[in-house]
Chain A
Amino acid sequence: MNGPGSVVVVGAGLAGLRASTALRERGFTGGLTVVGDEPHGPYDRPGLSKDVLTGRRTAADTDLPIPAGLDARWRLGRRAVALDRVGRRLLLDDGTVLGYDGLVIATGAAARPWPGPGAPPGSGVHTLRGREDALALRRALTKGGPLLVVGAGFLGSEVASAARALELPVTLVDAARRPMERAVGSVVGSVLADVQKAAGVDLRLGTTVTGLLGRQALEGALLSDGTRVAARTVLLALGARPNTEWLRDSGLRLNEGTSGGVSCDRRGRALGADGRPAPDTVVLGDAAAPPHPLPGDGSPAHLGIGHWSEAVDRADSVAAALLGQECPAHETVPSFWSDQFGLRIRSVGLPQLADRTEVREHDPVRSRMEVAYHRGPRIVGALTVNRTSRLAAHRERIKQEWHQRTIPV
Chain B
Amino acid sequence: MKVHVDMALCESHGQCVFAAPDVFAFDDEEEEELVYEPSPGPGRRAAVEQAVLSCPVRAVALDGGAG
Asked whether A346 lies within 8 Å of B14 as measured between CB atoms, the reply is: yes
Q: Which residues of A contact B54 (CB under 8 A)?
A: 309, 312-313
Picked from A46, A335, A389, A395, the residue with its CB within 8 Å of the CB of B32 is A389
Q: Which residues of B contact A337 (CB under 8 A)?
A: 13, 56
Q: Which residues of A contact B32 (CB under 8 A)?
A: 386-389
Q: Which residues of B contact A309 (CB under 8 A)?
A: 15, 54
Using C-beta atoms within 8 Å of the partner chain, give the interface range for chain B: 10 to 19
Asked whether A392 lies within 8 Å of B12 as measured between CB atoms, the reply is: no
Q: Would you list which residues of chain B between 32 and 58 have a CB under 8 Å from chain A?
A: 32, 53-54, 56, 58
Q: Tell me if A344 is interfacial: C-beta within 8 Å of chain B.
A: yes
- Known A46-B56, A337-B56: A388·B13 in contact at CB below 8 Å: yes
Q: Would you list which residues of chain B between 4 and 21 have a CB under 8 Å from chain A?
A: 11-15, 17-18, 21
Asked whether A389 lies within 8 Å of B26 as measured between CB atoms, the reply is: yes
Q: Which residues of B contact A246 (CB under 8 A)?
A: none
Picked from B12, B17, B66, the residue with its CB within 8 Å of the CB of A65 is B66
- Known A337-B13, A344-B11, A346-B13: A388·B56 in contact at CB below 8 Å: no
Q: Which residues of A contact B18 (CB under 8 A)?
A: 333, 335, 348, 392, 395
Interface of B is mostly: loop
Closest to B49 in A: A25
Q: Which residues of A contact B67 (CB under 8 A)?
A: 67
Asked whether A388 lies within 8 Å of B12 as measured between CB atoms, the reply is: yes
Asked whether B66 lies within 8 Å of A388 as measured between CB atoms, the reply is: no
A388–B53 alpha-carbon span in the complex (Å): 19
- Known A335-B15, A387-B32, A388-B14: A308·B66 in contact at CB below 8 Å: no
Asked whether B13 lies within 8 Å of A312 as measured between CB atoms, the reply is: no
Q: Which residues of B contact A308 (CB under 8 A)?
A: 56
Asked whether B11 lies within 8 Å of A392 as measured between CB atoms, the reply is: no
Q: Nearest Cβ in chain B — how far from A216, in angstroms?
A: 40
A387–B14 alpha-carbon span in the complex (Å): 10
- Known A344-B11, A344-B12: A392·B17 in contact at CB below 8 Å: yes
Count residues of chain A with CB under 8 A from any CB of chain B: 23
A234–B3 alpha-carbon span in the complex (Å): 44
Q: Which residues of B contact A312 (CB under 8 A)?
A: 53-54
Q: Which residues of A contact B13 (CB under 8 A)?
A: 337, 346, 388
A79–B65 alpha-carbon span in the complex (Å): 34
Picked from B14, B58, B66, the residue with its CB within 8 Å of the CB of A392 is B14
Q: Nearest Cβ in chain A — how far from B20, in angstroms?
A: 11
Picked from B21, B26, B58, the residue with its CB within 8 Å of the CB of A388 is B26
Asked whether B29 lies within 8 Å of A339 as measured between CB atoms, the reply is: no
Q: Which residues of B contact A344 (CB under 8 A)?
A: 11-12
Closest to B21 in A: A392
Closest to A25 in B: B49
A46–B55 alpha-carbon span in the complex (Å): 12
Q: Tell me if A282 is interfacial: C-beta within 8 Å of chain B.
A: no
Q: Nearest Cβ in chain A — how far from B12, in angstroms?
A: 4
- Known A312-B54, A313-B54, A395-B18: A389·B29 in contact at CB below 8 Å: yes
Q: Nearest Cβ in chain B — how far from A58, in angstroms?
A: 15
Q: Which residues of B contact A155 (CB under 8 A)?
A: none
Q: Which residues of B contact A65 (CB under 8 A)?
A: 58, 66
Asked whether B14 lies within 8 Å of A391 as measured between CB atoms, the reply is: yes
A22–B29 alpha-carbon span in the complex (Å): 36
Closest to A21 in B: B53
Q: Which residues of B contact A386 (CB under 8 A)?
A: 32
Q: Nearest Cβ in chain B — how far from A200, in angstroms?
A: 24
- Known A312-B54, A389-B26, A389-B29: A346·B17 in contact at CB below 8 Å: no
A306–B11 alpha-carbon span in the complex (Å): 21
A395–B15 alpha-carbon span in the complex (Å): 11
Could you write out 6 A-B pairs with CB less than 8 Å apart? A333-B18, A335-B18, A348-B18, A388-B13, A388-B17, A388-B32
Q: Which residues of A contact B (CB under 8 A)?
A: 18, 44, 46, 65, 67, 308-309, 312-313, 333, 335, 337, 339, 344, 346, 348, 386-389, 391-392, 395
Known: A388-B32, A392-B21. 12 other contacts (CB 8 A): A65-B58, A65-B66, A308-B56, A309-B15, A312-B53, A335-B15, A335-B18, A346-B13, A346-B14, A386-B32, A387-B32, A388-B13
Q: Which residues of B contact A (CB under 8 A)?
A: 11-15, 17-18, 21, 26, 29, 32, 53-54, 56, 58, 66-67
**In the complex, the 5 A-B pairs of residues with the closest C-beta atoms, listed nearest first:** A389-B26, A388-B14, A388-B12, A392-B17, A391-B14
